[in-house]
């Protein structure tokens, strides 16, 4: 069972993260060169996806402890991604997509952004329920959280691959 503090904390984090990310597009910190970050944070997305798949494998093997380890690693990579993403975008000009696949690129990007906001509370709720041993509540949320989180991680890599030729160095 989730307590009131946990519920309020999840709601607060789920609102603050997207607002902070949206605000970063309004600010620009000059004189800091973090152009090297996009391939690194794309890699953290790939590693998140890999560890999510490993977590799925572990739970299918009924190895709850290994599953929990893999989920914690996936969470760590997601947090690392977010920190690098915010740092890069707060210090760099936006990169416009100039390729031939604009419709595809923006379709993937928009779905990635929307689902990245939706997945935050789902992941946090499922993590709290799983940590508390409430398997029933955990499973109810994970059936939505897992595929969305995996999609966000994989499309993060795809977005990077599509936009990377247009980064200015």
The C-alpha atoms of residue 95 and residue 17 are separated, in whole angstroms, by 22
Q: Total domain count for the chain?
A: 1
Q: Is the pTM of this model over 0.85?
A: yes
Residue 28 has a pLDDT of 83
Residue 99 lies in a domain: yes
Residue 45 lies in a domain: yes
Tell the burial category of 30 from Cβ atoms under 10 Å away from its Cβ (0-12, 13-18, 19+): exposed
Residues of the chain below pLDDT 50: none
CATH code of 73's domain: 1.20.120.80
Task: Domain of residue 82: give its range.
Answer: 34-166
Residue 80 has a pLDDT of 97
Residue 7 lies in a domain: no
Residue 93 has a pLDDT of 85
The C-alpha atoms of residue 86 and residue 99 are separated, in whole angstroms, by 24
Residue 28 lies in a domain: no
């Amino acid at each position: 069972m989730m307590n009131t503090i946990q519920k309020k904390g999840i709601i607060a984090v789920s609102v603050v993260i997207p607002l902070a990310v949206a605000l970063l597009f309004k600010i620009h910190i000059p004189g800091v060169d973090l152009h090297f970050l996009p391939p690194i944070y794309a890699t953290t997305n790939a590693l998140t996806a890999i560890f999510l798949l490993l977590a799925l494998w572990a739970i299918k093997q009924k190895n709850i402890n290994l599953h929990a380890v893999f989920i914690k690693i996936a969470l760590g990579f997601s947090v690392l991604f977010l920190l690098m993403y915010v740092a890069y975008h707060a210090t760099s000009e936006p990169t416009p997509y100039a390729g031939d696949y604009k419709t595809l690129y923006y379709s993937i990007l928009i779905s990635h952004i929307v689902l990245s906001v939706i997945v935050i509370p789902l992941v946090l709720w499922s993590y709290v329920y799983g940590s508390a041993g409430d398997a029933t509540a955990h499973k109810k949320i994970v059936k939505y959280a897992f595929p969305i989180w995996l999609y966000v991680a994989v499309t993060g890599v795809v977005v990077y691959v599509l936009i990377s030729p247009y980064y200015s160095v």
